[in-house]
Amino acid sequence: MMMDEKDLQKFWSKVDKSAGDEGCWNWTAAKSRGYGRFVNQRKPKLCHRITYSLMVGDPSGKFVCHKCDNPACVNPKHLFLGSQSDNMADMAKKGRRKGKLIGEKHPLALVSDEVALEIKKATLSGDAARKIANQFGVSINTVTNIRRGKSYPHLPDFGYKPRIKPVSRFSEADKLNMVRLRATGKAYTEIAKLYGCSGWYAGVLVSKYNQKSVNE
């Protein structure tokens, strides 16, 4: 990790050490899912990983876990290095998994947590899901699910905000409006543009809606 004097000064100015050497050192600036986040060399980094590498050693390829169960804490005395399974066991112990199988432990998981994290980071570059999917050899669906936190929700999201409304969230009113637009002769591609989905999906929604009304 490359941090110059200025970066270091900026970094430490955002750490609250008022609890003392043995207490939690809370990150006071930007967070992702509770974990402190710091942009260094234009790349978002997790703050507890930064302090671990500055004061203990390079954690690359390993998870840095919290003994104190406070994700915003960056005190290296409260951190330990673990494998993915340690991290999962640790989370399970602390009840953070809520009985759900998440991440690579999920039977349908296609990628490791490490890769999912890389995919999450890649979304920050603004690259299209298709490009990232090609890069990692996964489907576009896998990329969008990871981006939106539908899968691998335990990994930090680095502040990603979806630009378009997820298609599953269309209300009945939206669907009805799509049906009406279609009835007035609007092309599916035009309707799709209004709703930020694909023309194909607009077509599916409209025909499903029509089918439902026929059956009722």
Footprint of Zn ion (CB under 5 A) = 24, 68, 70, 73, 78
Count of beta carbons in the 10 Å neighbourhood of residue 100: 9
Q: Measured from the CB of residue 49, what is the shortest distance to Zn ion in angstroms?
A: 14
Could you give phi then psi for residue 169, rounded to 5 degrees?
A: -90, 10
Q: Measured from the CB of residue 94, what is the shortest distance to Zn ion in angstroms?
A: 13
Contacts of 192 (CB under 8 A, 6+ apart): 198, 199, 201, 202
Nearest to Zn ion of 25, 136 (CB atom): 25
Cβ 37 vs Cβ 46: under 8 Å: yes
Q: Measured from the CB of residue 102, what is the shortest distance to Zn ion in angstroms?
A: 23
Q: Measured from the CB of residue 12, what is the shortest distance to Zn ion in angstroms?
A: 16
Nearest to Zn ion of 10, 77 (CB atom): 77
What's the rounded Cα separation, in Å, for the pair 9 and 103? 35
Q: Measured from the CB of residue 186, what is the shortest distance to Zn ion in angstroms?
A: 56
What's the rounded Cα separation, in Å, for the pair 96 and 91? 5
Nearest to Zn ion of 78, 120 (CB atom): 78
Q: Measured from the CB of residue 145, what is the shortest distance to Zn ion in angstroms?
A: 32
Nearest to Zn ion of 80, 201 (CB atom): 80
Nearest to Zn ion of 71, 156 (CB atom): 71
Q: Which amino acid is at 131?
A: K
Q: Which amino acid is at 43?
A: K
DSSP state of 101: -
Cβ 176 vs Cβ 142: under 8 Å: no
**Residue 162 has which token pair?**
């979806």
Q: Which amino acid is at 124?
A: L
Nearest to Zn ion of 66, 147 (CB atom): 66
